């Protein structure tokens, strides 16, 4: 498989951690530790990419990414 880059954010979620990949809206994982949540997300993204490539769909890639925090 080629090399791809995806964005991810990880948040503390109760007793563990939750990780999300915005490029794939249904791509979420969790883990007891920050590292475990990211490792789980990485494997899930791999499945999404391989499944898409099998259907001749390239994975979503963005040239620029901006992350910010909004206060209300």
pLDDT in tens, 15-66: 899 999 998 888 999 999 999 999 999 999 999 898 887 778 778 777 777 7
Q: What is the pTM of this model?
A: 0.79
Q: Where are the beta strands (DSSP E) in 22-62?
A: 28-31
b/e per residue, 7-35, with b = 16+ CB within 10 A? ebebeeeeeebbbbbebbeebebbbeeee
> Is residue 21 a contact partner of residue 45, using CB atoms and an 8 Å limit?
yes
Beta-sheet strands, E only, within 1-72: 9-13, 16-20, 28-31
């Amino acid at each position: 498989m080629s090399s791809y880059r995806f964005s991810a954010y990880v948040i503390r979620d109760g007793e563990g951690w939750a990780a999300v990949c915005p490029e794939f809206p249904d791509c979420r994982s969790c883990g007891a530790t920050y590292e475990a949540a990211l490792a789980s997300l990485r494997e899930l993204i791999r499945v999404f990419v391989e499944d898409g490539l099998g259907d001749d769909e390239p994975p979503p890639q963005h040239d620029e990414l901006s992350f910010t925090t909004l206060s209300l």
